[in-house]
Chains A and B, each alone.
Chain A
Amino acid sequence: MSQAPVVRLQNVTKVIGKRTIIDRVSFEVRPGEVFGFLGPNGSGKTTTIRMIVGLMGMSSGDIHIGTHSVRTEFPKAIVQVGAIVENPEMYKFLTGYQNLLHYARMNPSITKERIQEVIELVGLQDRIHDKVKKYSLGMRQRLGVAQAVMHRPKLLVLDEPTNGLDPAGIRELRDYLRRLAQDEGTAVLVSSHLLSEMELMCDRVAILQKGQIIDVRSIRGQDGDAATLEEVQFDVDHPDAALGIFEGSGRMVDGQLALSLDRAGIAAINRRLVEAGINVYGIHVKTKSLEDQFLEMTGSETIG
């Protein structure tokens, strides 16, 4: 991917009092990419996101959206950004439509037709003229998405978007974000502490701890990589006999034979077990989940 990044953070630092909340954070998000921002509570996810959208100032460093600095050209930078910062808070005494109209008036590119289009996109057409105080959380979340994408932003920022959503709502949001990234080339920056969610949603994740990025890694592209060694467990009727065959390389885990193998190796081992007259009931690949990796990296340390 050689496209210019949609958002670029350079050594962004935030000091409040004597504490450094965010310490020289740098990363980029490219067009069409879903970028996850992962970290334990208090690691600085929300602060970083608020600096990107200009709700908080930075002590040093700079953030560019496209070619415009959030610091010095705020209106030109922010016009390319759509955001849901935590729960989508709306004016409860206004209708859904009036809420959208309110934000549409602040952006010259949004036409009445576009408002209508977005309402249908999020499926609120039947209730859009009801007051927001009568909306369920899921409907408010949809309205939140509508206001965020109305002006076709190049960057969509979501802070803990799945908070308070039911599983169906989470799934819907996830599918929608992926579609937006693929079809419209929108860069999506999403923060969460829900690791399993991030694993399903993101192309890359940055792991943040104590205000510093400790790792940035790709999530997609790893699966199906034939050369990777993974731990594979074989559920067999005579584990001891099986272990005897693979003396040295094999181990016993939970009464099953365990080996470190690549894809070709799995097939070979299976054949040898069958040839030795051992029944194989199941083969399990123990993929290290993002959660395992995350806890490995951050788990033992205290939140600071």
Chain B
Amino acid sequence: MANFMNLIQNENMKIYRRVRTWIMLGIIVFLPILISLGVLAASGTDAGSSWSMMIIESTISLMLITIFTAVVASETVAGEFTWGTIKLLLIRPWSRSAILLSKYISTLLFALALTVITFVITLLINMAVFGSSDGEQLSSVAGMSNMEYVLQFYLLQFVSLIIIITFGFMMSSAFRSSGLAIGLSIFLLFAGSIITGLLAMTDKPWVEYILFMHLDLTSYINNAQGPFQNHPMSLGFSLGVLAIYFVVFNLISWSVFRKRDIAA
């Protein structure tokens, strides 16, 4: 019927008209700048090298982005239940699938925006503060330029981010309280990686199918066997496992949301 873009515009309005979102954006913009200036003030221009500073700051910012997008993804559906607005949202000439898809896309766009901002800010500030010294080599792979390494780093991080969004989104569809959905998503993300870290020390083969074994994809850039010494895997295997989780999470989100009776 009407233009699907309108639905995405609506969801974007509900993300960007909130003070919370601008606090998140502010942190993402100013944190790398503060770190670079702090390092500069403490030890002068020769202390840092721009590329490794960029990777350090990107890692920190992307960790924050993981939390921020998990919050936004967890709230996008559950929030409508908490606010009671779901009743007015679903009585419009759109299928529930279309409404859910618009929410999913707007959350992905939010994650993409934060990631691109982080890339640009960390690149510019470190070039400006520490200069584009090419004396260092980020990758241990011969012939890979620093820019290539950074782009691969961001690409692989964004793949993990998509999975985390999809996970948060599933929690959001499954729970009608945004507080519960946000809390549980964040808790599972942290508890999951800690528990998996412990499980990885055992030599049980099924450990390799746990989601959290595959969220640190950037290790594959320098090491084809991945992040866990005693569980050598390949990037293709990790992406395959993530793809299965991606499909399962989405199937759960969609089937729960499409069939649910809006009773409360």
Contacts and interface: CB of A to CB of B under 8 A. Distances in A.
Interface of A: 50, 53-57, 74-76, 78-79, 81, 83, 85-94, 98, 101-103, 105-108, 147
A178 B90 CA distance: 27
Given A87-B84, A102-B13, A57 B261 contact: yes
Contact of B93 (A57, A102, A106): A106
Contacts of A98: 13, 17
A94 B85 CA distance: 12
B59 to A, nearest CB: 32
A120 B91 CA distance: 24
Contact of A89 (B2, B84, B90, B95): B84
B1 A108 contact: yes
Nearest to A84: B88
B132 interface: no
Among all A-B residue pairs, the 3 with the closest Cβ atoms: A89-B84, A108-B2, A55-B262
A99 B93 CA distance: 17
B140 interface: no
Given A93-B17, A106-B2, A75 B95 contact: yes
Interface in B1-38: 1-3, 6-7, 9-10, 13-14, 17-19
Given A78-B93, A89-B87, A106-B93, A50 B263 contact: yes
A106 B92 contact: yes
B13 A55 contact: no
A56 to B, nearest CB: 4
B259 interface: yes
Contacts of A106: 2, 6-7, 10, 92-94
A171 B261 CA distance: 33
Given A89-B85, A91-B85, A103 B262 contact: no
A75 B93 contact: yes
B92 A85 contact: no
Nearest to B8: A105
Contact of B88 (A56, A89, A101): A89
A45 to B, nearest CB: 13
Contact of A55 (B1, B19, B91): B91
Interface residues of B, number: 27
B237 interface: no
Interface in B35-94: 83-85, 87-88, 90-94
Contacts of A103: 88, 92
14 contacts: A50-B262, A50-B263, A54-B90, A57-B259, A79-B93, A83-B88, A85-B91, A91-B14, A94-B14, A101-B13, A103-B88, A105-B6, A106-B94, A107-B2
Interface of B: 1-3, 6-7, 9-10, 13-14, 17-19, 83-85, 87-88, 90-95, 259, 261-263
A54 B14 CA distance: 24
A161 to B, nearest CB: 14
A287 B6 CA distance: 54
Q: B18, B83, B92: which has the most chain A beta carbons within 10 Å?
A: B92
Contacts of B17: 93-94, 98
A16 B83 CA distance: 25
Contact of A93 (B3, B9, B18, B87): B18
Nearest to A83: B91
Nearest to A109: B2
Q: B3, B18, B84, B87: which has the most chain A beta carbons within 10 Å?
A: B87
A123 B84 CA distance: 24
A92 B83 contact: yes
Contacts of A81: 91
A194 to B, nearest CB: 21
